[in-house]
Amino acid sequence: MKAEVAQQILLLELAELDAELSRLTHRVAHLPEQQRLEQLQTDQRNAADRLAVLGIALEDVDAQISRLESEVDAVRQREDRDRGLLDSGTVNPKQLEELQHELDTLERRQASLEDSLMEVMERREQLAAEQGTEQAGFDGLGQELIAAEQARDEVLAEIEQARTGRDARRTDLVSGLEAELLALYDRQRASSGIGAGRLIGGRCGGCRIELDRGEMARITAASDDEVLRCSECGTILLRVRGPGE
Ligand SMILES: [Zn+2]
Protein backbone atom coordinates (compact mmCIF):
# COMPACT_ATOMS: atom_id res chain seq x y z
CA MET A 1 0.00 0.00 0.00
CA LYS A 2 1.11 3.53 -0.72
CA ALA A 3 0.22 6.75 1.10
CA GLU A 4 1.52 10.27 0.61
CA VAL A 5 3.82 11.67 3.29
CA ALA A 6 1.11 14.23 4.21
CA GLN A 7 -1.24 11.32 4.87
CA GLN A 8 1.39 9.60 6.99
CA ILE A 9 1.82 12.78 9.06
CA LEU A 10 -1.95 12.86 9.68
CA LEU A 11 -1.85 9.18 10.62
CA LEU A 12 0.98 9.79 13.08
CA GLU A 13 -1.02 12.54 14.74
CA LEU A 14 -4.03 10.23 14.90
CA ALA A 15 -1.93 7.47 16.49
CA GLU A 16 -0.56 9.89 19.09
CA LEU A 17 -4.03 11.22 19.77
CA ASP A 18 -5.41 7.70 20.23
CA ALA A 19 -2.56 6.93 22.63
CA GLU A 20 -3.52 10.00 24.68
CA LEU A 21 -7.18 9.00 24.62
CA SER A 22 -6.21 5.51 25.83
CA ARG A 23 -4.20 7.08 28.64
CA LEU A 24 -7.22 9.19 29.62
CA THR A 25 -9.46 6.09 29.63
CA HIS A 26 -6.89 4.25 31.75
CA ARG A 27 -6.72 7.22 34.11
CA VAL A 28 -10.50 7.24 34.55
CA ALA A 29 -10.47 3.51 35.32
CA HIS A 30 -7.70 3.90 37.94
CA LEU A 31 -8.57 7.23 39.48
CA PRO A 32 -7.11 7.53 43.02
CA GLU A 33 -10.00 9.91 43.80
CA GLN A 34 -12.46 7.14 42.90
CA GLN A 35 -10.58 4.61 45.03
CA ARG A 36 -10.60 7.01 47.98
CA LEU A 37 -14.34 7.53 47.53
CA GLU A 38 -14.98 3.78 47.46
CA GLN A 39 -12.82 3.27 50.56
CA LEU A 40 -14.85 5.92 52.40
CA GLN A 41 -18.09 4.29 51.26
CA THR A 42 -16.88 0.96 52.65
CA ASP A 43 -15.82 2.63 55.92
CA GLN A 44 -19.21 4.30 56.18
CA ARG A 45 -21.08 1.03 55.56
CA ASN A 46 -18.98 -0.66 58.26
CA ALA A 47 -19.65 2.21 60.67
CA ALA A 48 -23.39 1.94 59.91
CA ASP A 49 -23.25 -1.81 60.65
CA ARG A 50 -21.51 -1.17 63.98
CA LEU A 51 -24.09 1.51 64.84
CA ALA A 52 -26.90 -0.94 64.09
CA VAL A 53 -25.30 -3.56 66.38
CA LEU A 54 -24.93 -0.95 69.15
CA GLY A 55 -28.55 0.14 68.63
CA ILE A 56 -29.76 -3.44 69.13
CA ALA A 57 -27.55 -3.87 72.21
CA LEU A 58 -28.97 -0.65 73.68
CA GLU A 59 -32.55 -1.81 73.04
CA ASP A 60 -31.74 -5.07 74.85
CA VAL A 61 -30.25 -3.21 77.78
CA ASP A 62 -33.24 -0.84 77.94
CA ALA A 63 -35.58 -3.81 78.02
CA GLN A 64 -33.53 -5.32 80.87
CA ILE A 65 -33.67 -2.02 82.75
CA SER A 66 -37.50 -1.79 82.46
CA ARG A 67 -37.88 -5.39 83.58
CA LEU A 68 -35.63 -4.89 86.60
CA GLU A 69 -37.35 -1.60 87.49
CA SER A 70 -40.79 -3.19 87.46
CA GLU A 71 -39.47 -6.07 89.56
CA VAL A 72 -38.05 -3.58 92.07
CA ASP A 73 -41.44 -1.81 92.13
CA ALA A 74 -43.30 -5.08 92.73
CA VAL A 75 -40.98 -6.00 95.61
CA ARG A 76 -41.40 -2.53 97.12
CA GLN A 77 -45.20 -2.75 96.96
CA ARG A 78 -45.06 -6.12 98.66
CA GLU A 79 -42.82 -4.68 101.39
CA ASP A 80 -45.17 -1.71 101.87
CA ARG A 81 -48.11 -4.08 102.18
CA ASP A 82 -46.26 -6.27 104.71
CA ARG A 83 -45.17 -3.25 106.72
CA GLY A 84 -48.74 -1.94 106.69
CA LEU A 85 -49.94 -5.23 108.10
CA LEU A 86 -47.23 -5.20 110.80
CA ASP A 87 -48.06 -1.62 111.77
CA SER A 88 -51.80 -2.33 111.90
CA GLY A 89 -51.29 -4.45 115.03
CA THR A 90 -53.98 -6.89 113.87
CA VAL A 91 -51.69 -9.87 113.21
CA ASN A 92 -51.18 -12.76 115.61
CA PRO A 93 -47.66 -13.80 116.68
CA LYS A 94 -47.44 -16.59 114.09
CA GLN A 95 -48.37 -14.21 111.26
CA LEU A 96 -45.94 -11.65 112.71
CA GLU A 97 -43.10 -14.12 112.45
CA GLU A 98 -44.06 -15.06 108.90
CA LEU A 99 -44.33 -11.40 107.85
CA GLN A 100 -40.91 -10.55 109.30
CA HIS A 101 -39.40 -13.52 107.57
CA GLU A 102 -40.97 -12.45 104.27
CA LEU A 103 -39.76 -8.86 104.73
CA ASP A 104 -36.19 -10.09 105.24
CA THR A 105 -36.44 -12.12 102.03
CA LEU A 106 -37.94 -9.15 100.16
CA GLU A 107 -35.18 -6.82 101.35
CA ARG A 108 -32.51 -9.21 100.19
CA ARG A 109 -34.31 -9.62 96.89
CA GLN A 110 -34.55 -5.84 96.47
CA ALA A 111 -30.85 -5.35 97.23
CA SER A 112 -29.94 -7.98 94.64
CA LEU A 113 -32.26 -6.43 92.02
CA GLU A 114 -30.78 -3.00 92.67
CA ASP A 115 -27.26 -4.39 92.23
CA SER A 116 -28.29 -5.92 88.90
CA LEU A 117 -29.94 -2.67 87.88
CA MET A 118 -26.77 -0.75 88.67
CA GLU A 119 -24.70 -3.14 86.57
CA VAL A 120 -27.07 -2.88 83.61
CA MET A 121 -27.17 0.91 83.92
CA GLU A 122 -23.36 0.97 83.81
CA ARG A 123 -23.45 -1.22 80.73
CA ARG A 124 -25.97 1.16 79.19
CA GLU A 125 -23.73 4.13 79.88
CA GLN A 126 -20.81 2.34 78.27
CA LEU A 127 -22.85 1.41 75.18
CA ALA A 128 -24.23 4.95 74.86
CA ALA A 129 -20.66 6.32 74.97
CA GLU A 130 -19.60 3.85 72.27
CA GLN A 131 -22.63 4.84 70.22
CA GLY A 132 -21.70 8.52 70.57
CA THR A 133 -18.14 7.89 69.37
CA GLU A 134 -19.33 5.70 66.53
CA GLN A 135 -21.97 8.22 65.47
CA ALA A 136 -19.38 11.03 65.44
CA GLY A 137 -17.15 8.85 63.26
CA PHE A 138 -20.06 8.09 60.96
CA ASP A 139 -20.95 11.78 60.64
CA GLY A 140 -17.30 12.65 59.98
CA LEU A 141 -17.20 10.04 57.21
CA GLY A 142 -20.31 11.63 55.71
CA GLN A 143 -18.45 14.95 55.47
CA GLU A 144 -15.36 13.29 54.02
CA LEU A 145 -17.53 11.49 51.48
CA ILE A 146 -19.01 14.75 50.23
CA ALA A 147 -15.50 16.23 49.81
CA ALA A 148 -14.18 13.05 48.16
CA GLU A 149 -17.08 12.91 45.74
CA GLN A 150 -16.49 16.53 44.81
CA ALA A 151 -12.76 15.88 44.25
CA ARG A 152 -13.57 12.86 42.08
CA ASP A 153 -16.11 14.82 40.03
CA GLU A 154 -13.64 17.67 39.48
CA VAL A 155 -10.96 15.33 38.14
CA LEU A 156 -13.50 13.55 35.95
CA ALA A 157 -14.67 16.88 34.55
CA GLU A 158 -11.07 17.85 33.73
CA ILE A 159 -10.47 14.54 31.98
CA GLU A 160 -13.78 14.83 30.15
CA GLN A 161 -12.80 18.28 28.93
CA ALA A 162 -9.44 17.00 27.69
CA ARG A 163 -11.20 14.12 25.97
CA THR A 164 -13.76 16.36 24.27
CA GLY A 165 -11.03 18.50 22.68
CA ARG A 166 -9.19 15.42 21.46
CA ASP A 167 -12.34 13.78 20.15
CA ALA A 168 -13.02 16.86 18.01
CA ARG A 169 -9.49 16.82 16.61
CA ARG A 170 -9.77 13.07 15.99
CA THR A 171 -12.91 13.59 13.89
CA ASP A 172 -11.01 16.14 11.76
CA LEU A 173 -8.05 13.81 11.29
CA VAL A 174 -10.20 10.81 10.39
CA SER A 175 -12.10 12.83 7.78
CA GLY A 176 -8.77 13.87 6.21
CA LEU A 177 -7.40 10.33 5.93
CA GLU A 178 -7.80 8.06 2.93
CA ALA A 179 -10.27 5.27 3.56
CA GLU A 180 -7.88 2.43 2.81
CA LEU A 181 -5.13 3.74 5.10
CA LEU A 182 -7.62 4.44 7.88
CA ALA A 183 -9.11 0.94 7.54
CA LEU A 184 -5.63 -0.60 7.83
CA TYR A 185 -4.92 1.54 10.90
CA ASP A 186 -8.24 0.58 12.53
CA ARG A 187 -7.68 -3.13 11.86
CA GLN A 188 -4.19 -3.05 13.30
CA ARG A 189 -5.32 -1.02 16.30
CA ALA A 190 -8.16 -3.48 16.97
CA SER A 191 -5.74 -6.42 16.92
CA SER A 192 -2.76 -5.04 18.86
CA GLY A 193 -4.00 -1.86 20.52
CA ILE A 194 -1.62 0.34 18.54
CA GLY A 195 -2.36 1.07 14.88
CA ALA A 196 0.68 3.07 13.86
CA GLY A 197 3.87 4.34 15.41
CA ARG A 198 7.05 6.15 14.55
CA LEU A 199 10.12 4.22 13.69
CA ILE A 200 12.71 5.65 16.09
CA GLY A 201 16.28 4.40 16.33
CA GLY A 202 15.39 1.21 14.47
CA ARG A 203 12.65 0.35 16.96
CA CYS A 204 9.00 -0.24 16.11
CA GLY A 205 6.72 2.40 17.68
CA GLY A 206 4.20 -0.35 18.51
CA CYS A 207 6.01 -3.33 20.02
CA ARG A 208 9.31 -1.45 20.65
CA ILE A 209 11.27 -4.36 19.23
CA GLU A 210 14.49 -3.44 17.48
CA LEU A 211 14.23 -4.36 13.81
CA ASP A 212 16.99 -6.50 12.40
CA ARG A 213 19.40 -5.39 9.71
CA GLY A 214 17.49 -7.07 6.91
CA GLU A 215 14.33 -5.25 7.90
CA MET A 216 16.16 -1.95 8.21
CA ALA A 217 17.69 -2.44 4.76
CA ARG A 218 14.23 -3.09 3.33
CA ILE A 219 12.86 0.05 5.05
CA THR A 220 15.74 2.24 3.91
CA ALA A 221 15.24 1.09 0.34
CA ALA A 222 11.49 1.73 0.38
CA SER A 223 10.13 4.92 -1.15
CA ASP A 224 8.70 7.63 1.15
CA ASP A 225 5.12 6.87 0.19
CA GLU A 226 5.44 3.14 0.89
CA VAL A 227 3.27 2.06 3.85
CA LEU A 228 5.54 -0.12 5.98
CA ARG A 229 4.51 -2.59 8.65
CA CYS A 230 6.45 -4.04 11.55
CA SER A 231 7.26 -7.67 10.77
CA GLU A 232 6.82 -8.51 14.48
CA CYS A 233 3.52 -6.84 15.42
CA GLY A 234 2.08 -5.44 12.20
CA THR A 235 2.07 -1.81 13.39
CA ILE A 236 2.24 0.72 10.55
CA LEU A 237 5.79 2.08 10.76
CA LEU A 238 5.94 5.81 10.10
CA ARG A 239 9.15 7.53 9.11
CA VAL A 240 7.64 11.02 9.27
CA ARG A 241 7.74 13.54 12.10
CA GLY A 242 4.65 14.83 13.84
CA PRO A 243 3.38 18.39 13.25
CA GLY A 244 4.86 19.63 16.52
CA GLU A 245 8.34 18.17 15.96
ZN1 LIG B 1 6.23 -3.89 16.09
Q: Residue 210 C-alpha to ligand 1 middle, in angstroms? A: 8
Residues lower than pLDDT 50 in the chain: none
- Dihedral, CA atoms, 185, 188, 194, 200, nearest 10 degrees? -80
pLDDT at 66: 98
How confident is the model at residue 241, as a pLDDT? 79
Amino acid sitting at position 151: A
Q: What pLDDT is recorded for position 245?
A: 61
CA of 15 to the centre of ligand 1 (A): 14
Q: How far is the CA of 26 from the centre of ligand 1 (A)?
A: 22
Distance 239 CA to ligand 1 centre (A): 14
d(CA 221, CA 111) in angstroms, rounded, equals 107
- Among 8, 6, 128, CA closest to 65: 128
Expressed in angstroms and rounded, the spacing between residue 205 Cα and the centre of ligand 1 is 7
Stated length of the chain: 245
Q: Render pLDDT for 119-147 as a digit per residue (tens, 0 to 9).
A: 999 999 999 999 999 999 999 999 999 99
What is the tens place of the pLDDT at every residue in 227-243?
A: 999 999 999 999 987 66
Residue 12 alpha carbon to ligand 1 centre in Å: 15
